Amino acid sequence: MTFVQIVECRTEQPDELNRLMDTWIEQTQGRRTATHTMVGADRADARHIVEIVEFPSYEAAMRNSGLPETDRIFREMVGLCQEPPTFTNLDLVRDEQLLKETARRLLVEPPTGDMSAIDQCLAADYRDHDPSMDGDTVGPAAVKAMVEGYRKAFDFTFEVQSQLAEGDQVASRWMWRGTHIGEYMGMPASGKSLEAAGMTIFRFEDGMVKEGWWSWDSVAMMRQLGMMPG
């Protein structure tokens, strides 16, 4: 079970605390068991510092605590604090990765004809970058029109195979599968079954998707359609 430790302290030297964190990361490379760490300053009191550290399990956290570098850095940290740090130890019982779910919705739902994800998740000035298109697609209405164009040519789905999130961006690796049911680039419906692999990166701002970058195997799709030699 994922384990999270919250460390709180008060200090007049936040820059020194950041330096200690950099030192710990450098010196424990390849041996630390922490998978994610965040440090925040209280907006109401900048001296109140909160560090959140994530581990795969409680046992992994204990191994991390046993590193000599961790012990040394902690003792230096105590010296920078106005009072001893406090610890809150949590077993993670729920982890909602909201940006990943939004990215998944934008891939999976519109091909069914449900455009609500586009209305709810795309910023008004959203910009879509796809090298297979003549130019960027801008705004939710234009994205809907593009999806409807594909739906006239293909009965298709996206299978999201994996996702990675970092900061304000989510990368989704997917497999597109479809049946050619209507005219596409001058080619009449063939009834052929097709598939193409790709990846999309969405950038978020204030919870809404502002930009999307697409990279997919359009050549493979054209070869399956017979538009290019194999």
For position 115, which CATH number holds? 3.10.450.50
What's the total number of domains in the chain?
2
| 214 shares a domain with 127 | yes
Domain boundary among 73, 91, 109: 91
CATH number of the domain at 54, please: 3.30.70.100
| 32 shares a domain with 104 | no
**pTM, 2 dp:** 0.77
Give a three-class secondary structure readout of 102-137.
HHHHHHHCHHHCCCHHHHHHEEEEEEEECCCCCCCE
pLDDT for residue 70 is more than 90: no
Question: What was the pLDDT predicted at 20?
Answer: 86
Question: What was the pLDDT predicted at 40?
Answer: 93
Average pLDDT over residues 81-90: 92
Residue 47: helix, strand or coil by DSSP?
strand
Domain boundary among 69, 91, 113: 91
Measuring CA to CA, which residue among 105, 96, 82, 14 is closest to residue 51? 14
Find how far residue 86's CA is from the centre of its chain: 31
Question: What was the pLDDT predicted at 158?
Answer: 95
Residue 211 in any domain: the answer is yes
Domain boundary among 91, 109, 142: 91
pLDDT for residue 74 is more than 80: yes
Average pLDDT over residues 51-58: 93
Q: What is the pLDDT of residues 88-123, one digit of tens each?
A: 999 998 877 889 999 999 999 999 999 999 999 999
Which residues span the domain enclosing 77? 3-91
Residues contacting residue 91 through CB under 8 Å, at least 6 positions apart: 1, 2, 3, 58
| Mean pLDDT computed over every residue of the chain | 91
Residue 230 in any domain: the answer is no
